[in-house]
Structure 1
Amino acid sequence: MNTLNKEGLSGVSRAAPRRRSDACICFVGPREIFSDVIVRTLESEVPDIPVVRVDYLEEIPQRRDENARFANGDRICALIVEEGNAAGLKAFIAARGEALSLSRMRFAIAYSEDRPDSEAMDFLRSGALLNQVSFLPMNINITTWMLTLRIILSGGHVVPPALLETGLTVSKAASRKLAEPGLDLEPTPDVMDTLTRREREVLQLLASGQQNKNIADRLQVSEHTAKIHTHRIINKLGVSNRTAAAVWYHRHEARASHL
């Protein structure tokens, strides 16, 4: 149905599961959207956090005295719903906000076409809950998808620039939220100016999920040169790793599109 569901898993070695506290990642939607391939790939990439899939939000058992937990005690750390459940997600958050400890949870709406359906786009139009809900495209390659999901899981807020370039009228409140920088990854305007033209090209490719070998092939340089560029970019941005650099880039682009 989409690029993700067509990817195979040959050659993927699974690490021994390691439990991290009692957290879990929950997908809400049909198997056609969140396929077994997606679930197994995520389990391989993040072996210490269990992955749960349900068809409907109503299937998630609730414990109002603490956090949302499943019968085995797993607390949801990320709730990712298919776009058809967008309206339900808004009601779900509104009805159980305090019990779900929103500051500790990540929310995302997954969509398969170039833009989400009308209910999902209401989050952008109104600005309601926009700073809490990311948008996760499902029609991209598995590497880029995993990078995007990792950004969300690490606390980043993702709204693909393409969603803001469709002539959509976004409320002033929503525009302000999209332009707000993160607490510790604020894109400083002067920093981008310190990057060379080549470093900017490398950063753009890195932020799209490309590994050093792919970056080297695209720019026709050696893999060693690509690694050096990546190292310099990380140092100049003042971040700790590639994922943080990707978060920085996407937030910089979001700010730039609203200037």
Structure 2
Amino acid sequence: MFVVNGSGLSDPTKIDVEHMLFIGSSCVFPDVMLRLVRVEFEGVDVLRLDGLDQETTLPEAAMLRLVVIDDRFARTVEERYDEIRQRFAGAQIALAYRDANVARRLFSAQQSQGRLSGLRFIPMNAPVAGWVSMLRLLLAGDFVVPGDLVAPAAGGAQATLMQNAPASAVEASLTQRELEVLDRVALGHRNKIIADDLGVSEHTVKLHIHHIISKIGVQNRTAAANWYLAQSRTDRTPRPES
């Protein structure tokens, strides 16, 4: 039985709920954080292990949706990634990092060497809303590339991802409705949910997403969500609808 702040979590062997697993100490993933995740993700139970080799009963693979690993285990992840993927088969695996240099090393190996396929990255210094949005995207099967992993490297090398994206929604000339759609995309919502929420058709949502992708110069909705999360909300001043 896992315990969070004195309250017993559901038995991890039960199969009527999905699970999210955090691997790291209670200093990295404190009780208050795990409680927040449980509140934000209704129907998803939260488990925590102190280390990758801790013996415990885990939920069936089909119900383990996301595994978030502290960057203290980055070297182990790098060396034993295939083994970790096999152990948590079917789940998204993400490195929660405080040291961008550590995450950047793994991200570089992933991009240039084709290693660590499927590994995702979550910055621990992100605002709570942004951090939760990244978790939501991962649970939805999408992902976001944090901006500090694609920032210019030491020595003046330029980032190759999103280098042509505009600096703000003003430069992109996003309309109010496009921002409303993009905000929901960044939360991991599917087109049908966005359409129902905004009172429009799915076709209209698809058109908005197509226009957004074209305006901000990215290739897909995941990259658009990444761009959106990287922007300061003070920059998101839309132009009037035409």
SS at match of 1:156: coil
- Match of residue 237 from structure 1: 209
Shift of 1:97: 4.0
Residue type of the alignment partner of 1:199: T
Residue 198 of structure 1: aligned partner: 174
- Partner letter of residue 49 of structure 1? V
Which of the numbers 140, 144, 147 marks the counterpart of 2:133? 147
Would you say how many aligned residue pairs link Structure 1 and Structure 2?
A: 179
Query: Which residue does 1:52 correspond to in 2?
Result: 47
Partner residue of 2:69? 81
Which of the numbers 110, 117, 124 marks the counterpart of 2:107?
A: 124
Classify 1:87/1:98 alpha carbon distance in 2 versus 1 (closer, same or farther; 3 Å).
same
Deviation at 1:123, TM superposition (A): 1.7
1:124-203 to 2 correspondences below 5 Å? 124-127=107-110, 128-167=114-153, 197-199=173-175, 202=179
Structure 2, unpaired ranges of 5+? 1-13, 166-170, 188-197, 211-219, 229-242
Aligned residue identity for 1:136: I
SS of residue paired to 1:32: coil
Shift of 1:36: 1.2
Selected match of 1:95 from 76, 83, 88: 83
Residue pair 1:22, 1:73 contacting (<8 A) in 2 also: no
Residues 1:20 and 1:143: Cα distance change in structure 2 (over 3 Å) = farther
What's 1:9 paired with? none
Q: TM-score, normalised by structure 2?
A: 0.58
Shift in alpha-carbon separation, 1:233–1:116, aligned structure 2, 3 A: farther
What residue ranges of structure 1 are gaps of 5+ in the alignment?
Answer: 1-18, 62-68, 170-174, 180-188, 190-194, 211-226, 239-244, 254-259
- Report whether the alignment pairs 1:250 with 2:225: yes
Equivalent AA in structure 2 for residue 202 of structure 1: L
Q: Is the 8 Å Cα contact of residues 203 and 246 (structure 1) preserved in structure 2?
A: no
Aligned 8 A contact 1:131 1:157 in 2? no
Distance 2:184 2:147 in 1: 13
- Give the match for residue 32 of structure 1: 27
For 1:123 and 1:199, locate their aligned partners in 2 and report how far apart those are by CA, in whole Å. Answer: 37
Residues 21 and 46 in structure 2, CA contact (< 8 A), matched pair in contact too: yes
CA offset at residue 125 of structure 1? 2.4
Contact kept, 8 Å, 2:134 with 2:143, in 1: the verdict is: no
Q: Which secondary structure state, in structure 1, belongs to the residue aligned with residue 53 of structure 2?
A: helix
Q: Distance in 2 between matches of 1:60 and 1:148?
A: 28
**Structure 1 counterpart of 2:135, which letter?**
L
Q: Secondary structure at the match of 2:122?
A: strand
Q: Whole-Å Cα distance in 1 between the matches of residues 36 and 16 of structure 2? A: 21
Distance of 1:143 and 1:246 partners within structure 2: 19
Q: CA RMSD in A?
A: 4.1
- 1:4 is matched with which residue? none
| 1:23 matched residue in structure 2 | 18
Q: For residue 74 of structure 2, what is the amino acid of its counterpart?
A: A
TM-score (norm 1): 0.54
Q: 1:123 to 1:47 in 2, by over 3 A?
A: same
Report how far residue 77 of structure 1 moved. 2.1
